[in-house]
């Protein structure tokens, strides 16, 4: 698989850990959107598109985000530690929607995306820079970095 195109939309807020949204095209025929570039402690990190995980209220069956403290539907107080923990003991609140299944592929995507991000950053310093026209995902949560 070759990554034939990367589009990067920089995030305006410079203090944010979320640096950009991007989309990648594979072999000129398959696009994955809502990839996030995040500033982590070890440098830039590429987060695959993910969704918030939820569970169901024990009392009424209502669906709630894992961080919710009360049921959206019946108001019952929910336990604080319902999320599964990752190997570092942090709550796992997101699940990847699309992701590489091996290290080589992750590395390939990471390198391409970061390179495109750095180019876009450079371009954004030029006068008359126009950001890429790309709609942003509604969810701009920064997922846990593993
Ligand atoms: Zn409920």
- The whole model's pTM is what? 0.80
Going from the C-alpha of 8 to that of each of 21, 50, 54, 102, the distances in angstroms are 6, 17, 29, 24
Mean pLDDT, all residues of the chain = 89
Please give the residue that has the higher pLDDT: either 78 or 87. 78
**Count of C-beta atoms within a 10 Å radius of residue 117:** 19
Two tokens, residue 73: 């539907």
CA of 136 to the centre of ligand 1 (A): 31
Going from the C-alpha of 26 to that of each of 12, 22, 62, 121, 141, the distances in angstroms are 27, 13, 38, 23, 25
pLDDT at residue 140 in the model:
64
CA of 69 to the centre of ligand 1 (A): 11
Please compute the mean of the pLDDT values over residues 1-15 and round it to a whole number.
89
CA of 51 to the centre of ligand 1 (A): 21
With pLDDT > 90 as the criterion, what percentage of the chain qualifies? 62
Please compute the mean of the pLDDT values over residues 40-60 and round it to a whole number.
91
Least confident piece of the model among 32-36, 52-56, 59-63, 90-94: 90-94
At 99-129, the pLDDT tens digits run 999 999 999 999 999 999 999 999 999 999 9
Q: How confident is the model at residue 142 (pLDDT cuts 50, 70, 90)?
A: confident
CA of 140 to the centre of ligand 1 (A): 26
Two tokens, residue 112: 């391409």
């Amino acid at each position: 698989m070759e990554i034939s195109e990367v589009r990067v939309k920089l995030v305006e807020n410079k203090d944010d850990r979320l640096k950009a949204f991007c989309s990648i095209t594979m072999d000129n025929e398959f696009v994955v959107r809502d990839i996030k570039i995040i500033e982590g402690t070890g440098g830039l990190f590429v987060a695959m598109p993910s969704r918030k995980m939820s569970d169901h209220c024990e009392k009424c069956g209502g669906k709630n985000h894992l961080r919710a403290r009360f049921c959206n539907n019946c108001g019952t107080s929910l336990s604080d530690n319902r999320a599964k923990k990752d190997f570092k003991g942090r709550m796992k609140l997101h699940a990847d929607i699309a992701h590489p299944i091996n290290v080589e592929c992750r590395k390939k995507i990471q390198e391409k995306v970061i390179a495109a991000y750095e180019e876009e950053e450079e371009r954004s310093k030029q006068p008359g820079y126009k950001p890429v026209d790309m709609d942003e995902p509604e969810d701009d949560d920064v997922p846990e970095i593993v």
